[in-house]
Amino acid sequence: MESSIRQPFNDAQIELLKAMSYLETEQDLKELKFALSKFFADRADREMDSLWDEGKVNDTVLEQWGHEHMRTPYNTH
C-alpha cells in the first residue's frame, strides 16, 4: 500500500539543507550562493547551445528577442 504522506522536500532540497548546516559565516553563504548561481548559469548556457545546434535559435531569433517587450499588462481600472 502506497503512503499518501508526501515528503515536503525533494532529494536535491534535502541535500542542500544538509550542506547548509555546515555554513558558519556570511562568507560561506556568499560562496554557496555564487556556486548555485554558476550552476544555473552554466545550465542555461548548455541549453542555449543545444537550441543553437538544433537550429531553434539563431542570430535572427536573438535579434528579435532583443526587441521584445514582455511586460505584464496591468489593468488600469
Do 54 and 45 touch, CB atoms closer than 8 A? no
Q: Which tens digit of pLDDT belongs to each residue from 1-28? A: 556 677 799 999 999 999 999 999 999 9
Give the predicted TM-score (pTM) of the model.
0.67
**What are the boundaries of each domain within the chain?**
25-67
Per-residue pLDDT of 55-68, as tens digits, reads 999 999 999 999 89
Q: With contact defined as beta carbons under 8 Å apart, do 22 and 16 qualify?
A: no
Q: What is the DSSP string of 18-31?
A: HHHTT--SHHHHHH
What pLDDT digit, counting tens, does each position of 19-54 carry?
999 999 999 999 999 999 999 999 999 999 999 999
Amino acid letter for position 72: T
Radius of gyration of the chain (CA): 20
Spatial CB neighbours of 19, under 8 Å, sequence gap ≥ 6: 32
